[in-house]
Structure 1
Amino acid sequence: MTDAEVNAVDFAVVAYRDEGDWNVARLPSRALDDVDTIARELRRYPGESGALAMISVDEDFVILVRVQGSLVRVLLSDATAAPDWTLARSAVVHLGVHVGVDDDQAPAGDLGIVADMGVSAADMGALLDDFDLYPEEVLSEIARGIGFGEKFDELVDLAD
């Protein structure tokens, strides 16, 4: 990613469950070059059900990356961001998705990425289809549904 793109990252958070407790921390900017770099970073965390990266870029789109052993799952909230953003482009390349110039805004990837953690694919689709929500609100709702909403909100300064 370019310096401008790194500066456009609103926040990047990792969440993982260890010994029954949720841990939430910021991901270092050096880990945000592409999906593969994010996946390598996530493997450093001990999560019982893998580690989850939650990234908001330019108050425009979100990327979720979940690593469980060798399995890497990705969800990009808006595939049409790929032509303009290196990180979004790496997500669609990882997913093997083609994004056309005239495509409408739509998510790409695994809507069920955290279904086993409490946010179903249908709920995820509804969240991503709600264009009135800012990316941080979408991620906060996902974190809340999984069970670490308060920790997430506090870390990214959304707490009331």
Structure 2
Amino acid sequence: MSEQDPVAGFAVAVVREEGKWRCTAMAGDALRELDAAITELRKIRSTGAAFGLLDVDDQFFLVVRPGPGGVQLFVSDAAAALDYDVAADALDLLRVDPPADDDDDEVWPEGALDILADIGLPAPELQVIAGEVDLYPDEQLQIIAQRCGFADEFNQLLDSLDSIAQ
């Protein structure tokens, strides 16, 4: 996959400010380049939670949460690093070795399981959601949105993205 090829999926910036959730679409390069996602999220000025949810090519998802002390990351499938630069960059930032080529049939999450614990998604629940291999990443992200309380805003944005794509 070359740097210029578009990657299917979606990237959503999620912000909670003054008790209200807001979901906005992020630029498509956020699905290709982790730095692009981090840079875009850092531009959001918010006193509340601000993070990104990325569904990359219907293969895996990323949660990206920049903060004053650095960037917290969660990758639903570390083996995706074998095929996707954004996943490889995430593992690099997490200082985790990419899996061996023969491990690509095994799915395991990597990163901060407690990345959304402060907004209603405890680490054990995120681990269970990521482990649901029968679900597509968009379905897993919808469960996360539901548990954290922004499902309506999230689904509304996805619906609008779907109607634009058609």
Give TM-score, length-normalised by structure 1: 0.90
Partners in 2 of 1:108 and 1:49 — Cα distance? 25
1:142 maps to a residue whose letter is: I
Structure 2 residue aligned with 1:154: 156
Superposition deviation, residue 33 in structure 1: 4.1
**8 Å CA contact 2:142, 2:151 repeated in 1:** yes
Partners in 1 of 2:61 and 2:71 — Cα distance? 16
1:58 maps to a residue whose letter is: D
Structure 1: tracts of 5 or more residues without a match: none
Structure 1 residue aligned with 2:131: 129
Please provide the CA RMSD for this pair.
Answer: 1.9
State the aligned residue count: 157
**8 Å CA contact 1:16, 1:51 repeated in 2:** yes
Structure 2 residue aligned with 1:7: 7
Structure 1 residue aligned with 2:112: 110
Superposition deviation, residue 35 in structure 1: 2.4
SS of the residue corresponding to residue 7 of structure 1 reads coil
Structure 2: tracts of 5 or more residues without a match: none
Superposition deviation, residue 101 in structure 1: 2.0
* Deviation per residue, 1:101-151 (Å, 9 max, x gap): 233220111111101110010000000111111111100111111111111
1:3 maps to a residue whose letter is: Q
Give TM-score, length-normalised by structure 2: 0.87
Runs of 4+ in 1 over 3 A off after TM superposition: 30-33
* Deviation per residue, 1:77-119 (Å, 9 max, x gap): 0010101111111111111111222332201111111011100
Structure 2 residue aligned with 1:90: 89
1:55 maps to a residue whose letter is: L
* Deviation per residue, 1:34-75 (Å, 9 max, x gap): 323322211111233341100001111001101122421000
Flag the 1:109–1:116 CA change in 2: closer, same or farther, 3 A. same
SS of the residue corresponding to residue 140 of structure 1 reads helix
